[in-house]
Chains A and B, each alone.
Chain A
Amino acid sequence: DAKTTQPNSMESNEEEPVHLPCNHSTISGTDYIHWYRQLPSQGPEYVIHGLTSNVNNRMASLAIAEDRKSSTLILHRATLRDAAVYYCILRGDSGGGADGLTFGKGTHLIIQP
C-alpha cells in the first residue's frame, strides 16, 4: 500500500506558483521523500527529493515539515508543460525488499492557460 496521501487533482493557472501537498504521517527516520511526475504516455520523470531540509533545484522546490509528516512540492511558475501526474513517494534505506518506489495514484495537475 502507498504510504503517502495526495489530492487526486489540482488546477492552477499558467505562470502562477503551484503548491502540491503530500501527507506521509508514517514516515520513518531513514525514508527519503521523492517526487516524480509523469506526462501522458511517458515514463515517470524525477523531480526532486529530500530527507529533512528543504531542497531546491532547477525544476522545483521541496518544503519538508519539521516533523517530516508532510511535504509540499512547489513549482514556482507553472507552464503548460508542467501538466502531469505528480507522485510523492517514500524511499526507504533498509537495503532489502522492494526498495524501489511504491506509487500511489498521485495528483493530476491541470494548468489553465
Chain B
Amino acid sequence: DTGVSQDPRHKITKRGQNVTFRCDPISEHNRLYWYRQTLGQGPEFLTYFQNEAQLEKSRLLSDRFSAERPKGSFSTLEIQRTEQGDSAMYLCASSPTGWGGNTIYFGEGSWLTVV
C-alpha cells in the first residue's frame, strides 16, 4: 500500500510524558500536513511542510508541540509534557503540491489518550 501511513495508531500515556508520532507521506509528495481532531469536530490544521521547510504553524500548536521533516520525506510530531487536553486523533496528510486542484491524502490517524 502506498498511502499515507502513521505510527503508532494508538498511544496511551500518562500526563506529563512526552509522545512522538511518525508520518510517512506518499512518495514524492512535497506537501505534508498535520491536523488534530477531537470527538464530534472536524480536523483542525496544525502545521504544514513544503519539503523540509515548515511554512506555517497554527495557534493551536503550543510550545509543547514540535514537528519536523528532516529530509523532506517522513515527519514527526512530538508533544512534550502531555496534558489531558491533548487527547485527540492526530492526522497526517500529504499532497503533491499546494495547488488547489491537488487532492490531499490522509493517513488513518494516531489516537492519543492522556490519562
Contacts and interface: CB of A to CB of B under 8 A. Distances in A.
B56 interface: yes
Interface in A45-91: 45-46, 49, 51, 85, 87, 91
Q: Main SS of chain B's interface residues?
A: loop
B8 interface: no
Interface stretch (B14-22, B39-47, B62-70, B73-81): B39-47
Contacts, number: 68
Most buried by B among A30, A43, A97: A43
Interface in A17-52: 30-32, 34, 36, 42-46, 49, 51
Interface residues of B, number: 27
Q: How large is the interface on A (under 10, 10 to 19, 20 to 34, 35 or more residues)?
A: 20 to 34
Kindly list the 5 A-B residue pairs having the minimum CB-CB distance in the complex, ordered from nearest. Answer: A103-B42, A93-B100, A43-B106, A32-B100, A91-B100
Given A43-B108, A93-B100, A105-B42, 4 more contacts: A44-B106, A85-B42, A87-B42, A101-B45
